[in-house]
Structure formats: C-alpha cells, structure tokens
C-alpha cells in the first residue's frame, strides 16, 4: 500500500513537467517595420522588407513564406562581390536567441512574384512566414513608395 501511494505521489509530482514538455512552443519571432515597395503594375515581381527579432530562448528559423497577394514568395539575398551584384535564394534564415535580422534593400528580402492584383500605397499586404517547426507567423506589410 505504501508503495502504491509513493508511486502515485511521484506521478503527480512529475505530471506538470510531462505536460510542459508536451506543450508546443509558444514563443514566436517579432516582426517590425514590415513594408512592400510599390512598383509599376506591369512589374511581375516585387520585394518585401522587415526586421525580425527572436525574443525566444531557443533558436528559430524561417524556411518559407506565402501570401494570397502573390503567386510565389521566397527569401532572397543580394550580395555584391567584386563589384557585381548577385541574388540567390535563401533556403533557411536562422534566428539565434536574442538575435535581430534586418531585411532591407540591397540585402536580405522577400521576393514577391506574380502579384494577384496591383498593390497600392497604403495597402496592407498579408504575408505568412513559415517557421522550421511548422508554425506560421502572420505579418501585415505596409505598401510604400520608399523605405520608412
């Protein structure tokens, strides 16, 4: 009988730890200053910029993006090497704990391809950032003529 009581007491003592371990992480990166540059309607692509902060204790990674306003969204980086600018797709954007990553013209950015409708100044453009763990971070980007 004492053994049964002891086992039950231990099980109850560890129950909160087991429940906590089974709970999915709730910490998400923070998106700030999200904006999309407004280009002529005939342009088949556009770019989105923002600042991402990871306030979490664990590392995070952005692995994709999507939007109902564009047929395709991907993460790209422009680099200038020996005076030549080259753009490449980024498969994974890591966010270390406490780190901030800036997407800005001439560097990291979201490549927004095949707009479903013209984007106008002041419009809010919804874009979801997909995390490596399967969660999504919905972000509203402000359509602007120039950087804020």
The model's pTM is: 0.80
Q: What CATH number should be reported for the domain holding residue 82?
A: 2.60.40.1890
Whether 76 is in a domain gets the answer yes
What φ, ψ does residue 132 adopt, rounded to 5°? -60, -30
pLDDT above 90 covers a percentage of the chain that reads 71
Residue range 103-117: mean pLDDT, rounded = 96
CA 53 from centroid of its chain's CA atoms = 10
pLDDT confidence tier of residue 39, bands split at 50, 70 and 90: confident
pLDDT at 24 over 70: no
- d(C-alpha 52, C-alpha 110), whole Å: 12
pLDDT at 98: 97
- Residue 55 is part of which domain span? 30-144
pLDDT at 3: 55
- d(C-alpha 76, C-alpha 145), whole Å: 21
Per-residue pLDDT tens digits for 74-87: 999 999 888 898 99
Total count of domains within the chain: 1
pLDDT at 14: 53
- d(C-alpha 36, C-alpha 34), whole Å: 7
pLDDT at 135: 97
Per-residue pLDDT tens digits for 58-71: 999 999 999 999 99
Whether 15 is in a domain gets the answer no
- The DSSP code sequence of 92-134 is -EEE-TT-EEEE-TTSEEEEEEEESS---TT-EEEEEEEETTS
pLDDT at 43: 83
pLDDT at 73: 98
Whether 38 is in a domain gets the answer yes
Whether 47 is in a domain gets the answer yes
Whether 50 is in a domain gets the answer yes
């Amino acid at each position: 009988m004492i053994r049964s009581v002891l086992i039950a007491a231990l099980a109850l003592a560890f129950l909160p730890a087991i429940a906590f371990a089974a709970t999915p992480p709730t910490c998400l990166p923070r998106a700030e200053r999200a904006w999309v540059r407004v280009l002529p309607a005939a342009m088949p692509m556009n770019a989105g910029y923002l600042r991402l902060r990871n306030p979490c204790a664990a590392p995070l990674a952005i692995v994709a993006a999507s939007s109902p306003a564009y047929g395709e969204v991907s993460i790209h980086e422009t680099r200038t090497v020996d005076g030549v600018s080259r753009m490449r797709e980024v498969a994974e954007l890591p966010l270390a704990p406490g780190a901030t990553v800036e997407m800005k013209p001439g560097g990291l950015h979201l490549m927004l391809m095949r707009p479903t409708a013209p984007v106008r100044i002041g419009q809010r453009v919804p874009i979801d950032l997909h995390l490596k763990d399967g969660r999504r971070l919905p972000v509203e980007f402000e359509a602007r003529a120039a950087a804020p």
